[in-house]
Amino acid sequence: MDFEDKVVLITGAAGGIGHAATKAFAEQGATLVLVDLSLSALEKIAADLGLPENRLLLVAADVRSESEVEGYVAGATTRFGRIDVFFNNAGVEGKTGALVDTDAETVDTILDVNVKGSFFGIKHVLSTMITQRSGAIVNTSSMAGLIGFPALGVYTASKHAVIGLTRVAALEAADSGVRVNAVCPGPVNTRMMRGIENGLSADNPEAAKSQFADSTAIKRYAEPEEIANVVLFLASDKASYVTGSIFTADGGMTGM
Ligand SMILES: NC(=O)c1ccc[n+]([C@@H]2O[C@H](COP(=O)([O-])OP(=O)(O)OC[C@H]3O[C@@H](n4cnc5c(N)ncnc54)[C@H](O)[C@@H]3O)[C@@H](O)[C@H]2O)c1
Position 256 scores a pLDDT of: 84
- The pTM score is 0.98
* Ligand 1 pocket check for 59: Cβ under 6 Å: no
* Ligand 1 pocket check for 251: Cβ under 6 Å: no
Report the DSSP beta bridge partners of residue 57.
Answer: 33
Burial 12-35 (b: 16+ CB within 10 A, else e): bbbbbbbbbbbbbbbebebbbbbb
38-73 pLDDT tens trace: 999 999 999 999 999 999 999 999 999 999 999 999
Q: How is the chain split into domains, by residue range?
A: 7-188+223-249
* Ligand 1 pocket check for 57: Cβ under 6 Å: no
Give domain 7-188+223-249's CATH architecture: 3-Layer(aba) Sandwich (3.40)
Q: Which of 59, 140, 192 to mutate to test the pocket of ligand 1 (most atoms within 8 A of CB)?
A: 192
Distance CA 96, CA 172 (A): 34
Question: How far, in Å, from the CA of 13 to the mean position of ligand 1?
Answer: 9
Which residue owns the Cα nearest ligand 1 atom 19?
192
Give me the active site residues, please: 155
Nearest to 60 by CA among 38, 43, 86: 38
237-254 pLDDT tens trace: 999 999 999 999 999 999
* Ligand 1 pocket check for 113: Cβ under 6 Å: yes
138-180 pLDDT tens trace: 999 999 999 999 999 999 999 999 999 999 999 999 999 999 9
Return the DSSP state at 254. G
